[in-house]
Amino acid sequence: MSKKDPRLHVVIAVANLPVERDRRVIREVKALEAAGYRVTVICPRGKQKLTQVPGTLDARIRSYKMYESTGGAVSFAVEFAWSFMCIGWHLAAAVLRDKAVAAQVCNPPDVFWPLALAMRAIGRPWVFDHHDLSPEVYQARGGRPGSALDRILLKLEKWSQRSASAVVSTNESYRELAISRGGCDPSRVVVVRNGPSASEVKPVDAAPADVDDHTIVYLGVLGAQDGVDNAILAAEKLVELRGRLGWRLVVAGDGECLESLRALTTERKLDDVVEFTGWLGVEEIDRLLRTASVGLQPDPRSAHAEVSTMAKTVEYLARGLPVVGVDMRETRRSAGDAGVYVEHGTPEEFAAVLHRLLDDPVARASMRNVALARFRNTLAWEHQAAAYVRLWDDLLSTRRARYKTTSIVRQAGPGGPVEVSQAEHRQ
């Protein structure tokens, strides 16, 4: 370990997007820094070509050029192989040159288990941060259950979980799958949910302001499996129910379906009531959600959506937004009575519920109070960070025993840290 920086060095690898667009990873990095760790993130290179993780003390980015898949099994295989080689190269450099003592990989894809075996063979812990269910995503995008590719994805997922020192699951359903389908020891699987920290959310009034112009928000990725086309079609039905004045649908995000969604909006003559903002930063998201009336989760029912916690849902709850979504297990576990649930997720169902909610300020106020309480008491990142850091402290307890921390990095929300960590080597 460098005499100049004796903090234990942890590497986090994320392969599907640049770290500046992965808020979960940024929060994980900040939590580790606050606990006295040094962190490096390996990820695809973003447009800004950042070298430091936004909002952190000194977390370094080791980036590589991202391979853009064109679709199809062969293209995805090439993408996965490229990610594996790039992450493997940078990880080796971090271990050999920068004295990294442990690593975490975030899926998708689930191809990094050989690196896990190599790290564990030299006594370095490896954490698998289970962001998504690759087999279920494949099925949600039209893949056939039980096909050869589906079976391969299941095997890769299992090997990724079994080869790790510990598995971080984003909710209880993922944890149950890691134990039952992945064959993991329950003691090695820890739930760390997605969601903003309280410091990212400006104080929210208990009662919403009366408004004449309502904003319905969709926040998140615009992928084929996310059902945003249903949100657009629901806006069309809402025009029939309440006209074009006094409301709008804001689609905040980016992804492979952005252009087709814009085209659908124009085709249905909805450009005056549907707005696309593109990808937003933390402060922009906060401003948008604080002025909205309802948060929409249009994900269609699928094996994937049934057991997944959508990050957008927790973002809605953090600002007291009522949630409208399909009635699925993890959606109810997250939103509870702060949500209104439809059976099938058709545009007609969504439009009817939205129409009713926009005309019922009493119901919205009640749901708002439930949402704020659920976030404050359970879902805020501060609750999740405690479990996340405790996992790392346990994995690195022997190494940590050689160090004592005299002060920690204290985060000051979006503005970043205000106190630098100082660690002393204990002989």
pLDDT grade for 206, boundaries at 50, 70 and 90? low
Whether residue 418 is predicted with pLDDT greater than 80 in this model: the reply is no
Burial of 427 (0-12, 13-18, 19+ CB in 10 A): exposed
- pLDDT per position as a tens digit, 167-182: 999 999 999 999 999 9
Decide: helix, strand or coil at residue 354.
helix
pLDDT, residue 403, reads: 62
Q: Residue 107 in contact with residue 132, Cβ under 8 Å?
A: yes
pLDDT, residue 25, reads: 97
The mean pLDDT value for 308-336 works out to 94
- pLDDT per position as a tens digit, 268-316: 999 999 999 998 988 899 999 999 999 999 999 988 889 998 889 999 9
- pLDDT per position as a tens digit, 1-10: 445 778 999 9
How many whole angstroms from its chain centre is CA 233? 26
Counting residues of the chain whose pLDDT is more than 70, the rounded percentage is: 91
End-to-end CA gap in the chain: 13
pLDDT grade for 407, boundaries at 50, 70 and 90? very low
Average pLDDT score, the chain: 90
pLDDT grade for 406, boundaries at 50, 70 and 90? very low
Tokens of 393: 């402290």
Give the pairing type, strands 38-44 and 60-64.
Answer: parallel
Higher pLDDT, 217 or 414: 217
What would the DSSP string read from start to end of 180-241? HTS---GGGEEE------GGGS----SSPPP-SSEEEEEES---TTS-HHHHHHHHHHHHHH
Counting residues of the chain whose pLDDT is more than 90, the rounded percentage is: 76
The mean pLDDT value for 178-199 works out to 94
Residues in contact with 4: Cβ distance below 8 Å, sequence separation at least 6, in sequence order = none
Whether residue 374 is predicted with pLDDT greater than 80 in this model: the reply is yes
Decide: helix, strand or coil at residue 258.
helix
- Measuring CA to CA, which residue among 9, 18, 15, 17 is closest to residue 37? 9
pTM of this prediction? 0.81
How many whole angstroms from its chain centre is CA 279? 14
pLDDT grade for 207, boundaries at 50, 70 and 90? low
Tokens of 423: 């660690």
List strand residue ranges (DSSP E) for 96-194, in order: 102-106, 126-130, 166-169, 189-191
Q: Residue 302 in contact with residue 136, Cβ under 8 Å?
A: yes
Higher pLDDT, 188 or 75: 188
pLDDT, residue 199, reads: 84
